[in-house]
Amino acid sequence: MLTEIYKYLDERYDFLVKTRRYLHQHPELSFQETETAMFIARFYQELEIDVRTGVGGNGVVARIQGSKPGKTVALRADFDALPIQDEKTVPYRSKVPGVMHACGHDGHTAILLGVASALHAFRDQLAGEYVLIHQHAEEVAPGGAKSMIADGCLDGVDAIFGTHLWSLDPLGQIGYRSGPIMASPDVFEVTITGKGGHGAEPHLAKDPIVAASQFVTQLQQIVSRRIDPLETAVVSIGEFHAGNAFNVIAEEVKLAGTVRTFKEEVRDTIKTEMEKILKGIATSHDCTYTFDYTGGYPALVNHKEETEFLAKIARDVPGVTRTTEIAPRMVGEDFAYYLQHVKGTFFFTGARPENAPVYPHHHPKFDFNEKAMLIAAKTLIASAIRYQEWKKQCAAKTKTQAG
């Protein structure tokens, strides 16, 4: 049956591309994706598939029931865009100023709609139930996953699978990892306030720029001197704002950055050490400060058995040329919340462009190889369908051992 389904998806490749490009031209920011949600819902309504809208906000959840009893498997795709100006020179360039799909969520949505159409077409031959989770607001904490879970998107679900198209990985590669695979992405904001003055008379001021500069430098010592070298952590400053004239000592400096970790104890240590450093520097420079630390999503931790299952079945998927256990990545994903409730795994599908420049995710010229959508769709649908067979085998083995 999978061979027939793969052929069906091959025939739907143009649909995947057309859908992805339409969404790319009409992006919507996190928590504002009303038109995108309607677009997704209409697709299911036209096929007369059971669909629920407004799930946890702008989320959309569809359910397809097979003709035979079995497990309930969820597949998830996100559909929000980013506040970035699209700088690509392609026919499907974003039509919304300052907003673009710079992370592949348009492709994720097209993939899941293609998978849904295949599941619907072959439903009379399938066992179990399939839950298609279209999630809003992955890019901005608190994200959409948490509210969708609270609104019942995982009700009755036995396992969940998800993928991310990755422009830096070669086409045909499926990257997997058991355990932590993506980090917790925290955000911090710091304001250091001193006393402004003339640049020619620094002794009469209390310079917050010097204080803030020392803070940035000393932050780097947290990872190198306070965290076990065998652990993984990143502390990065992304914003530094102070003053607007070359000869004026600013009154105030504002900083912002991110902390990426895989373990809660490392996360807590970094937060504590940051404030200790900030307090000491502010005191020594006779400045005051504010420190706001916002915890992002938890680290994404894949379940061992489901990850090994995915790695095994992916080898037989047409278009997959390599399955590889990848190193953990410091980017974050609120798919982590789903895995805190049900078993499953999240993997990366290689989507490096061919004969074109390769740009990282969240770049104004980001794009991916659209052929990867077909590979991702086949891998997701294979994981969902073969999961039924795998769980039957596990149950039979357990029964035999017990007997």
Instruction: Please identify every residue annotated as catalytic.
Output: 80, 138
Strands 159-166 and 288-294: unpaired
d(CA 330, CA 317): 28
Dihedrals φ, ψ of 260, to 5°? -125, 125
Helix (H) or strand (E) segment spanning residue 402: helix 371-402
- 267-272-276 Cα angle (round to 5): 150
3-state SS class at 10: helix
User: Phi-psi bin for 179: left (phi > 0), alpha (psi -120 to 50), beta?
Assistant: left
Amino acid at 265: E
Q: Which residue has the tokens 């005191």?
A: 283
Report how far apart, in Å, the C-alpha atoms of 28 and of each of 25, 61, 86, 137, 157 are: 10, 19, 13, 10, 29
Helix (H) or strand (E) segment spanning residue 301: strand 300-302
The DSSP-derived string for 88-151 is --STT--SSTT-B--SSHHHHHHHHHHHHHHHHHTGGG-EEEEEEEEE---SSTT-SHHHHHHT
- 201-203-207 Cα angle (round to 5): 95
Greatest Cα-to-Cα distance within the chain, rounded to the nearest angstrom? 88
3-state SS class at 399: helix
Strands 50-55 and 59-65: antiparallel
The tokens describing 241, both together, are 């704002």
